[in-house]
Amino acid sequence: YFRQKLASWKTDLMRDAGQTLQLLQQQSPRSADQSDRATTESEQSIELRAGDRARKLIQKIDEAMQRIEKGSYGYCTETGDPISVKRLEARPIATLGLEAQETHERMEKTQRD
C-alpha cells in the first residue's frame, strides 16, 4: 500500500516539475518594462525554490521506498519502535515516531533560540 502511495506521489511531483520546467523555458526573460521583468524574475525564483523542495521530497520518497525494500519502513530510526499507521498515512516519508519527532523538534527550537 505505502509503496504504491509513494510511487504515485513521486509521479505527481515529477509531472509537476516537468510542467514547471516547460513554463520557465517558455517565459520570455526580456521585457522592456523593469517592473514586468522584476515580476517575472520573482515568479521564476519562486518556481525554482518550489522545484528544489520537490527534488528534495523526491529524494526522501526514494529513501522511503528503499526502506520498504529493506524491511525497515515504518520503524523509527532513533528508537526502533513502529511508527503508527496514522502517522505514516499523514507523512509516508516519516522516519521518526511521533514522540521522537516531537523531541527532535524541541531540540531544534532550543538550539535555534
User: Which is more confidently placed, 27 or 18?
Assistant: 18
70 vs 64, 65, 73, 89, CA distance in Å?
A: 10, 9, 8, 20
**pLDDT single digits (tens) 50-71:** 778 888 999 999 999 999 999 9
**pLDDT single digits (tens) 3-15:** 999 999 999 998 8
CA–CA separation, 49 vs 55, rounded Å?
10
